[in-house]
Amino acid sequence: MQSWNDGNILAGFSTEDRAHHPFRLIYQTLAMCHDRLIRSDLDVDVKDHHRRTREHFRHAADQMLTGGPLLCLLGHAAELRGDLLDAHVASKSAPSPDHSILGRKFQQFRSHVQSHFGHPAWGEQEDGTTTGYFGDHAPGPGDWVERSESVLKAILFNYW
């Protein structure tokens, strides 16, 4: 229990157990729970939950980005979720926060989808409109926050 409380949830598991268990989904779920707390109306320590959320998303992404195309897609989604939270937290303290990092992560996500899953997953027309499973969820050129939130809603199998 202490390793869970310390944030080192894998300390009690062997290397083989860690390799064959979906800990990355557990990390992502923990991050999404902290994210919900930060976005809630509850009186929470935003700085502490933000730090924990970023750590959990980073652990999830690190493990998933080394897998095959689908697992790697989920790794990019975990990174995008972390950067969305950063944008949310920044918007509380700055009138117009810089979303360039979020934009780069969104483009990496899109690029991965296009290169591994093709037009059925994401196609783009000359006028900027998008097609395909993820493309249909993207509201077209514009706000990185809105676009990121929209494509992440298309991933239905991450416990949320």
In a domain, 41, yes or no: yes
Give the total number of structural domains in the chain.
Answer: 1
The better pLDDT of the pair 94, 4 is held by: 94
The whole-angstrom separation of Cα 142 and Cα 157 is 27
In a domain, 140, yes or no: yes
Contact between 115 and 123 under an 8 Å Cβ cutoff? The reply is: no
Q: What is the CA radius of gyration of the chain?
A: 17
140: left (phi over 0), alpha (psi -120 to 50) or beta: left
In a domain, 158, yes or no: no
In a domain, 160, yes or no: no
Element at 123 (helix H, strand E):
strand 123-124
In a domain, 78, yes or no: yes
The two tokens of residue 38 are 């930060």
In a domain, 6, yes or no: yes
Q: Mean pLDDT across the chain, nearest whole number?
A: 84
- Residue 105: domain span: 2-152
Whether the predicted model's global pTM rises above the 0.95 cut:
no
Looking at the predicted structure, is the pLDDT value of residue 1 above 50?
no
Looking at the predicted structure, is the pLDDT value of residue 107 above 90?
yes
In a domain, 157, yes or no: no
Looking at the predicted structure, is the pLDDT value of residue 20 above 60?
yes
In a domain, 124, yes or no: yes
